[in-house]
Amino acid sequence: MDDALISGTTAQGLQNDKHLKQVDRSGNYFIRINQAKGRALSNDKLRQALYLVINIKQLAEKVMANGSKTSYTYSSLGAAKSPGTNKDFSTVTKPKETYNVLPRRKSSGRKA
């Protein structure tokens, strides 16, 4: 049996191949943002705006298109089981609280 990492384009082309077997691998990828002083991305508001417009599920499914799954922790899905519960560790440790990057709008007293 051969084992090879393939690109999203190749993976899409092989979806109907009966010999293709997808094997999950543990790992995380992230986008490193240059936050050096004087750079546009050092602006918190701009980074928050980028966070809002990036759909991580769509990024994994449509851009990567290689079977990648979204991750909310540094533990990959299926990499380990939680002791005692035997549930997927990344699911158990997924943050329950999220940071709302949209600040509350101040009421202007006017009705829409």
pLDDT digit string, tens, across residues 31-48:
677 767 777 888 888 877
pLDDT digit string, tens, across residues 33-89:
776 777 788 888 887 788 777 787 888 888 888 778 887 787 778 888 988 899 998
Residue found by looking up tokens 């298109």 in the block: 65
Please state the pTM of the whole predicted model: 0.52
CA distance 102 to 36: 24
Residue found by looking up tokens 């997927």 in the block: 88
